[in-house]
């Protein structure tokens, strides 16, 4: 993205997106590493074996949940970035507007042309019909 | 808690009275020495009470109760020896515990202290491995569940290719509408403000993600007999509009005559409800409808404002959602705003209308067009000519100086008409055109003999039209035709006649009718003369505005006298607009000449006799000119 003078809030938002990305990826990695470390089982704690096992179980659960959370957060981030891009991508919006207006102008020209042709045809026909009608004996009752 | 309060310990100035003797002498108590007073004060310390009070104070603190209520407790904290006492007490407790432990360790009578075995039980290694395995399995299950959820959502999106993605729809929406993000919600705008509108009402709407109910709507299979299935409005987007922008709105324009009932029944149109927007309509349609509602509201508000402000001989009325403006005597223009909401599915309010087909599409269209022009003007200012000049004045005004425009023209330039004035002018023109059409057609129907052929010009403006009227006789159209051009304006008619004279007429159609009837009679006389020329007859006299004869109700009678090639026959034709034509014939020399007292000589018979009227209705011939032709032919003598 071209680094123009973005407003402060936009700048902050982009930074926050970047921070979120880093945080989430870091969280994925760290939690995985921690799980692997726990799986090694080299703990020299004061606790008893069973307690340690229980603690490790819980910690692994929490860490895996954290990984899932980070993954989903990444999905959310992707969605947010998409939304941000859609809403703030002014060049593409301008393109769309230009294209739309081109299409509409073209349509307008076509419609105008068709109407002109139609008008001319109708005027010619109307002339003949008027001629015929007023020349004939049969004239309809005119409703006011 | 230790408070550093300086406590001065000193004996009171006055000794306490120990005893008062009967004789009144007071026996004073001996003042306490320093050590005595210290021991006395120490004796006052109640250790148990202090402990209780302390606990009570802690609980009181937790309850956040006012400690001041209990002055004793409050005072205890201020006790100068408190910290000393506490520390001493703690030290005592610990020393006691230590001595107990030591005693137990030493005595070994009841308990034995044993060292904790430090070696890890190798026999339990497998257990820990299993425990780890289980823990890892749990963690893996959590991860798999999460991954499964992600995969499901992905495959769901891939499977429902027909259902567009939220972001794709948002992109489509963004391409067509203005959107911005406010906080966590996406707000859009349907108002015409960027296109030059200055209407105050906002057209905000909110874009949200639609809930996943599309799957349920997919499940019932469509019966094949149902024919073409309407496209499913399974949109991932949901657009929420404010209630005042929902529904369908339109502006209805009527022309009404005064004699029609002022209060007609309100026709509730069932068609409107059925074609109204469904709640699950596609967002594009929904937004377009909302935009239309906003536009109609703006248009009506603008017109209503102008109607109130516009001074006029007959003030315009704004009643409810209806504007009544009188345009010509007896003709009123009614502009109504209809807004139907889908929620109650009935016409909320509508002007009294005669028929559904009665309203005028053309005027409705042009009223829309006028507001669009206003919008366009608001955004498209002409560029200032010197680039430093003010923005706003038109190009015409820039050229006013070089082209030497006078004050009057400048004033004209600065005038601008309001929407209502413009639409009133258009309606006036519309009415005038209708009336002119009516007059022309009725006359063409009533008057059979000269044919009246009118041709409407196909190129016209909303306030100006032109019709060419051709009067001619069937079969004799090359001999004579009378052309009239009628310009239909806003409140007047201008007719340019054959002889170049210009007639200006008001909006009363009778004037046009009278003019046409006069023109028809004049046409007859002119045509007779042209015919006579072809037949070899001579025109002896011709008068378009005959001064003799009885006075006509309108116009003047016209006449001509024709002589046969030999000069022995005369035909006199007199056309009166109201009565019709009279044709008389005379012979010269007259057949019934008898010499009288005054006119004795025979030569006077050549003067011609008195005219005898021809019974015109008994004449052979299809029309007037044909009859005249036959008459002339029969009167022409070869010798």
- Residue entry with tokens 């072809």: B534
Q: In what order do the strands lie in the sheet with B204-209?
A: B178-182, B185-189, B204-209, B237-240
Residue in B127, B135, B169 to test binding to A, most A beta-carbons within 10 Å: B135
Inter-chain CB proximity A67 and B143 less than 8 Å: yes
Choose among A49, A61, A92: nearest Cβ to B138: A61
CA distance A114 to chain B (A): 15
Rounded Cα distance between A91 and A89, Å, is 6
Q: Which of A87, A138, A141 to mutate to test the interface with B (most CBs of B within 10 A)?
A: A87
pLDDT at B58: 52
pLDDT tier for residue B357 given thresholds of 50, 70 and 90? very low
Closest CA in chain B for residue A46: B118
Q: Tens of pLDDT along B484-513?
A: 999 999 889 999 998 889 999 998 888 999
Query: What does pLDDT average to over chain B?
Result: 78
CB contact under 8 A, A83 and B176: no
pLDDT for B293-338, tens place per residue?
A: 999 989 998 888 888 888 777 788 888 888 888 888 888 888 888 8
Q: Helix H segments across B21-124?
A: 34-44, 47-63, 71-77, 82-107
| Shortest CA distance from A88: residue in chain B | B180
Tally of CA atoms within 13 A in the half-sphere of B624 that contains its CB: 26
pLDDT at residue A121, rounded to an integer: 94
**Could A71 and B170 be called an inter-chain contact, meaning their C-beta atoms sit closer than 8 Å?**
no
- Chain A positions touching B128 (Cβ under 8 A) are 41, 49, 52-53
pLDDT band at residue B353 using 50, 70 and 90 as cut-offs: very low
| DSSP annotation of B273 | H
B90-109: b (≥16 Cβ within 10 Å) or e = eeeeeeeeeeeeeeeeeeee
Partners of B140 on chain A (C-beta within 8 Å) are 64
Whether B125 contacts chain A with CB within 8 A: no
Say yes or no to pLDDT of B161 above 70: no
CB neighbour list of residue B256: distance below 8 Å, 6 or more residues apart: B331, B332, B333, B334, B354
Rg (CA), chain A: 37
CB contact under 8 A, A35 and B139: yes
Instruction: Tell me the three state secondary structure of residue B322.
Output: strand
pLDDT at B593 over 70: no
CB B27 within 8 A of CB B33: no
pLDDT tens digits, one per residue of B132-143:
888 888 889 989
Give the integer Cα–Cα distance in Å for B545 and B549.
Answer: 11
**Range B207-221 average pLDDT:** 55
Contact between residue B532 and residue B545 where contact means Cβ atoms under 8 Å apart: no
Q: How far apart are CA B572 and CA B561, in angstroms?
A: 4
Instruction: For chain B, say whether A121 makes contact (Cβ under 8 Å).
Output: no
| A7 shares contact with chain B (CB less than 8 Å) | no
* Spatial distance between the Cα atoms of B216 and B234, rounded to a whole number of angstroms: 11
B339: pLDDT strictly greater than 90: no
Q: Is this complex's ipTM strictly greater than 0.85? A: no
Residue B145: the pLDDT is 92
Residue ranges of alpha helices (H) inside B416-500 are 419-446
Alpha-carbon span B488 to B515, nearest angstrom: 15
Sign of torsion, CA B584 B590 B592 B596? positive
- Percentage of chain B with pLDDT > 90? 9
CB proximity under 8 Å: B 182-201 to A? 186
> What does the pLDDT look like over B218-269, one tens digit per residue?
334 443 443 343 444 467 788 888 888 888 888 888 887 765 544 443 433 3
Distance CA A136, CA B474 (A): 10
């Amino acid at each position: 993205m071209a680094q123009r003078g973005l407003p402060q809030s936009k700048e902050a938002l982009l930074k926050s997106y970047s921070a979120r990305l880093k945080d989430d990826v870091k969280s994925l990695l760290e939690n995985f590493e921690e799980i692997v470390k726990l799986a090694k089982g080299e703990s020299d704690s004061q606790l008893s074996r069973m307690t340690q096992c229980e603690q490790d179980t819980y910690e692994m659960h929490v860490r895996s949940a954290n990984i899932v959370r980070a993954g989903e957060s990444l999905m959310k981030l992707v969605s947010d970035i998409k939304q941000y891009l859609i809403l703030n991508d002014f060049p593409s919006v301008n393109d769309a507007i230009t294209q739309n207006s081109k299409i509409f102008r073209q349509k307008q020209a076509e419609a105008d042309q068709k109407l002109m042709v139609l008008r001319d045809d109708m005027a010619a026909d109307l002339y003949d019909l008027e001629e015929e009608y007023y020349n004939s004996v049969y004239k309809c009752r005119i409703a006011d | 808690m230790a408070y550093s309060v300086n406590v001065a310990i000193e004996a009171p100035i006055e000794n306490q009275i120990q005893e008062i003797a009967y004789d009144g002498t007071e026996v004073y108590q001996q003042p306490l020495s320093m050590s005595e007073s210290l021991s006395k004060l120490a004796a006052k310390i109640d250790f148990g009470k202090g402990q209780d009070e302390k606990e009570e104070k802690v609980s009181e603190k937790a309850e956040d109760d006012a400690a001041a209520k209990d002055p004793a407790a409050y005072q205890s904290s201020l006790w100068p020896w408190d910290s000393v006492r506490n520390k001493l007490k703690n030290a005592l407790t610990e020393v006691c515990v230590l001595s107990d432990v030591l005693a137990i360790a030493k005595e070994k009578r009841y308990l034995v202290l044993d060292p904790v075995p430090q070696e890890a039980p190798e026999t339990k290694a497998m257990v820990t491995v299993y425990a780890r395995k289980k823990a890892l399995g749990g963690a893996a299950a959590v991860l798999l569940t999460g991954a499964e959820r992600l995969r499901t959502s992905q495959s769901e999106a891939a499977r429902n290719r027909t259902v567009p993605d939220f972001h794709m729809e948002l992109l489509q929406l963004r391409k067509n509408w203005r959107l911005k993000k406010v906080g966590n919600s996406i707000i859009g705008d349907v108002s015409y403000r960027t296109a030059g509108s200055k209407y105050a009402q906002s057209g905000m709407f909110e874009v949200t993600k639609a809930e996943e109910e599309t799957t349920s709507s997919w499940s019932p299979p469509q019966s094949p007999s149902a024919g073409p299935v309407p496209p499913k409005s399974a949109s991932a987007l949901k657009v929420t509009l404010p209630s005042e922008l929902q529904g369908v709105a339109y502006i209805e324009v009527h022309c009404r005559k005064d004699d029609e009932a002022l209060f007609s029944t309100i026709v509730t149109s069932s068609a409107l409800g059925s074609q109204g927007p469904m709640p699950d309509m596609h967002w594009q349609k929904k937004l377009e409808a909302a935009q239309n509602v906003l536009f109609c509201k703006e248009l009506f508000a603008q017109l209503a404002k102008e109607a109130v402000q516009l001074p006029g001989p007959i003030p315009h009325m704004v009643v409810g959602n209806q504007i009544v403006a009188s345009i010509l005597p007896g003709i009123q223009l009614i502009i109504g705003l209809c807004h139907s909401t889908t929620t109650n599915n009935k016409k909320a309010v509508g002007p009294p209308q005669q028929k559904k087909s009665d309203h005028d599409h053309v005027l409705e269209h042009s009223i829309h067009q006028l507001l669009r022009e206003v919008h366009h003007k608001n955004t498209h200012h002409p560029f200032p000519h010197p680039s430093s000049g003010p923005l706003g004045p038109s190009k015409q005004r820039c050229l006013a100086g070089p082209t030497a425009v006078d004050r009057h023209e400048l004033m004209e330039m600065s005038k601008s008409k309001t929407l209502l004035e413009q639409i009133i002018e258009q309606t006036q023109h519309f009415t005038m055109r209708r009336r002119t059409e009516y007059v022309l057609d009725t006359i063409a129907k009533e008057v059979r003999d000269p044919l009246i052929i009118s041709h409407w010009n196909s190129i016209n403006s909303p306030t100006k039209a032109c019709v060419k009227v051709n009067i001619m006789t069937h079969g004799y159209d090359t001999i004579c035709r009378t052309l009239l051009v009628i310009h239909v304006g806003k409140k007047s008619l201008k007719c340019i006649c054959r002889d170049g004279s210009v007639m200006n007429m008001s909006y009363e159609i009778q004037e046009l009718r009278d003019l046409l009837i006069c023109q028809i009679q004049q046409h007859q006389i002119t045509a007779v003369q042209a015919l006579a020329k072809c037949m070899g007859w001579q025109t002896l006299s011709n008068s378009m505005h005959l001064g003799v004869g009885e006075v006509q109700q309108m116009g003047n009678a016209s006449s001509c006298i024709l002589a046969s090639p030999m000069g022995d026959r005369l035909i006199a034709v007199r056309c009166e607009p109201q009565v019709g034509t009279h044709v008389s014939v005379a012979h010269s020399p007259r057949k019934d000449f008898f010499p009288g007292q005054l006119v004795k000589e025979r030569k006077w018979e050549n003067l011609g006799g008195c005219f005898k009227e021809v019974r015109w209705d008994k004449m052979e011939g299809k029309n007037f000119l044909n009859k005249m032709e036959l008459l002339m032919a029969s009167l022409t003598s070869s010798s």
